[in-house]
Amino acid sequence: VQQVVGNKLGLLETFMSAAMSPLSVIAEMYRNSTEVKMSQIVLPCHANHRGELSVGQLLKWMDSTACLSAERHAGCSCITASVDDIHFEHTIGVGQVVNIKAKVNRAFNSSMEVGIMVSCEDLFANRQWKVCNAFATFVARHTDEGKVQLKQVMPQTQEEQTEYSVAAERRRMRLLHTEIMKDLLGNGCAVRDFDDAVPSERTRVESVELVLPPHANHQVNTFGGQIMAWMENVATIAASRLCNAHPTLRTIDMFHFRAPSQVGDRVVLKAIVNNAFKNSMEVGVCAEAYRGRETPRHINSAFMTFEVLDAEGNPRNLPRIKPEPLDGPRRYREAIARKKIRLDRKYIISCKQTEVPLSVPWEPSNQVYLSYNNVSALKMLAARTNWVLTSEKNKVNLYTLEENQVLCFKVETHVDIAAKRVFALLSDLTRRKEWDRHYKHCEMINQVDEEDAIYHVITPSVSKTNKGQDFILLASCRTPCNSGDPYLIALRSVTLPTHPPTEDYIRGEIFCAGFSILEVSSMVCKVSYYNQASPGVLPYISNDIAGLSSGFYNSFCSCSKFLEENKESRATADSTAF
């Protein structure tokens, strides 16, 4: 009996071990500690007249998911500060499933960026597709102990490292948004008058909502997602009044939460069509809150772009708008400026690399987005983990990376010089000819701001035509945002009408290149040079990649010597413009 019982117990242990092994594997799989997922099936009560998920309802779900992710990281209550621009690629129908995933990309002092990804799932067709993604900023609320100092996010995967690095650049772009608008409006644009234009006053909508307990979040404030949903509702009504049809929301320009509201407040929502273009219109919407006889306070604002689709799903032409006499012309011009910004972002940032030329026209209005693209491209290249060591010589390492028929390379070494000093020396491209034989001449064309400059670079001939190459380069330099971040010098080609190609040189192009300078100790740093090889660069590096020359090694030795000779020099002070 004991033997039979023992055998059965042994079989039971084996069975339990086999049954638990998949769970062990799952437990060992990495998952971001701040990641929060939500799945919702779209019911008729969530849908509009077309049987599609209401954008307002989707915004509620997105804000809830992002808030829970932020609070998981902060360990305390958090409030929505802003939501970046959202572009809705597809609509979602009744019966389909909405999958939302949110995680904290990076934490700053008391604020953090949360990335949100929304996809749609068709249960019957067994397929999924992306709907939109967004970046929301949340602020940790003060506790009894005072202001909250958030702990840093520790990225573990290549994707997390990329989002962590680029989050700092997105934050910089948010802070500069107001200045961009001022620059664009400074150029001015006339308000065009059309005989058949629709008066904008006809599209004005005003609606009031009483904040009840179901509208509040767990902090007793009005739920941010609820306010966004109310704003989307009045904006849709305003758009419908212009086109006399049911519009489709395509894009939302940043939601900016200026102040909270609570249960018992009256929230007044106002919307009006600011401008109408050929196939789209912009609706401005704001939210104000008051209680009793209080003066209404501005709590939120956003700008929404709508289209009207025909039976084939193509955008219809829209009637023109005639601004109201008082504030209308300002809103009309601002709508044109925001459209220009959206087009710049789509052209420079959102498109795939194969869909845009290497060189993008530079102008003051798109400088911020070109700079963002420049730095983020270098950060994403540096975050890659599948570099292959091609050669090593006296602690100078050459790595290559080839994906999607694109060749990238990285040269890396350590120098016994303070990272800040190395950054100051290498960020001045006019001195690069002192150590880089590929820089025959370098002239600064435009000092754009404290962190960006445009250079004209001439390189010697490497072709049978005996013509050298020249490049127009945007240099974007960044100091560390937090300890552990590197100094960055990002380079990319741009075009300038003042410096067109000439017969004397072959115009070359660089898509992504630059230096990453990481502090190892007070007097040691790691210097990494990256380049995504374009046709204009390949002739200079092909022998090194093939292992037939020591060009990279010699260049880095010359660079190290240049840094060593100038580490105590004050010819280029550490407090340079970069």
Whole-Å CA distances, 249 to 86, 281, 309, 319: 10, 10, 11, 17
pLDDT at residue 534 in the model: 59
> What would the mean pLDDT of 357-363 be, rounded to a whole number?
73
Q: Of 326, 214, 233, 345, whose CA–CA distance to 283 is shortest?
A: 233
Instruction: Give 577's pLDDT tier (boundaries 50, 70, 90).
Output: very low
Distance from C-alpha of 273 to C-alpha of 202, rounded to nearest angstrom: 9
**Is residue 418 over pLDDT 70?**
yes
What percent of the chain lies above the pLDDT cut of 70? 83
Three-state secondary structure call for residue 533? coil
pLDDT at residue 21 in the model: 43
Three-state secondary structure call for residue 457? strand
> What would the mean pLDDT of 295-303 be, rounded to a whole number?
94
Three-state secondary structure call for residue 274? strand
In eight-state DSSP terms, residue 519 is E
Distance from C-alpha of 75 to C-alpha of 151, rounded to nearest angstrom: 10
Is 426 in contact with 517 (CB distance < 8 Å)?
A: yes
Three-state secondary structure call for residue 368? helix
Q: How far is CA 37 from the centre of its chain?
A: 21
DSSP string, 481-524: SSTTPPEEEEEEEEE-TTS---TTEEEP--SEEEEEEEEEETTE
pTM for this model (two decimals)? 0.75
Instruction: Give 20's pLDDT tier (boundaries 50, 70, 90).
Output: very low
> What would the mean pLDDT of 199-211 be, rounded to a whole number?
95
pLDDT at residue 424 in the model: 94
Is 185 in contact with 398 (CB distance < 8 Å)?
A: no
**How high is the mean pLDDT of the chain?**
84
**Is residue 353 over pLDDT 60?**
no
Q: Of 274, 299, 276, 275, whose CA–CA distance to 286 is shortest?
A: 299
What is the Cα gyration radius of the chain? 28
Whole-Å CA distances, 165 to 156, 191, 380, 479, 532: 13, 41, 8, 12, 18
Give pLDDT tens digits for 504-528: 888 888 888 999 999 999 999 999 9
**Is residue 317 over pLDDT 80?**
yes
Q: How far is CA 210 from the centre of its chain?
A: 35
Distance from C-alpha of 160 to C-alpha of 107, rounded to nearest angstrom: 13
Q: Which residues pair with 445 in a beta bridge?
A: none
Instruction: Give 278's pLDDT tier (boundaries 50, 70, 90).
Output: confident
Which two tokens mark 20? 């638990």
Neighbouring residues of 484: CB distance < 8 A, sequence distance ≥ 6: none
Weakest-pLDDT range from 248-252, 349-353, 432-436, 492-496: 349-353
> What would the mean pLDDT of 228-238 be, rounded to a whole number?
95
Which two tokens mark 347? 């052209």
How would you class 93 by CB atoms within 10 Å of its CB: exposed for 0-12, middle for 13-18, buried for 19 or more? middle
Instruction: Give 545's pLDDT tier (boundaries 50, 70, 90).
Output: very low
Instruction: Give 2's pLDDT tier (boundaries 50, 70, 90).
Output: very low
Q: Which helix (DSSP H) or strand (DSSP E) does residue 65 occupy?
A: helix 55-74
> What would the mean pLDDT of 181-202 be, rounded to a whole number?
74
Is 148 in contact with 76 (CB distance < 8 Å)?
A: yes
pLDDT at residue 220 in the model: 83
pLDDT at residue 116 in the model: 96
Is 412 in contact with 528 (CB distance < 8 Å)?
A: yes
> What would the mean pLDDT of 165-189 be, rounded to a whole number?
74
pLDDT at residue 235 in the model: 96
Q: Which helix (DSSP H) or strand (DSSP E) does residue 452 occupy?
A: strand 452-459
Instruction: Give 23's pLDDT tier (boundaries 50, 70, 90).
Output: very low
Higher pLDDT, 566 or 463: 566
Instruction: Give 358's pLDDT tier (boundaries 50, 70, 90).
Output: low
> What would the mean pLDDT of 96-111 be, rounded to a whole number?
94
Distance from C-alpha of 254 to C-alpha of 135, rounded to nearest angstrom: 10
pLDDT at residue 569 in the model: 60
Distance from C-alpha of 491 to C-alpha of 20, rounded to nearest angstrom: 52
Is 147 in contact with 369 (CB distance < 8 Å)?
A: no
What percent of the chain lies above the pLDDT cut of 90? 48
Beta strands in 84-204 (DSSP E): 86-87, 97-107, 111-122, 127-140, 198-199
**Is residue 572 over pLDDT 70?**
no
**Is residue 503 over pLDDT 80?**
yes
> What would the mean pLDDT of 542-553 be, rounded to a whole number?
54
pLDDT at residue 176 in the model: 74
Weakest-pLDDT range from 344-348, 422-426, 529-533: 344-348
**Is residue 84 over pLDDT 90?**
no
Instruction: Give 61's pLDDT tier (boundaries 50, 70, 90).
Output: very high
- As a three-state string, the secondary structure of 84-114 is CCEECCCCCECCCEEEEEEEEEEECCCEEEE
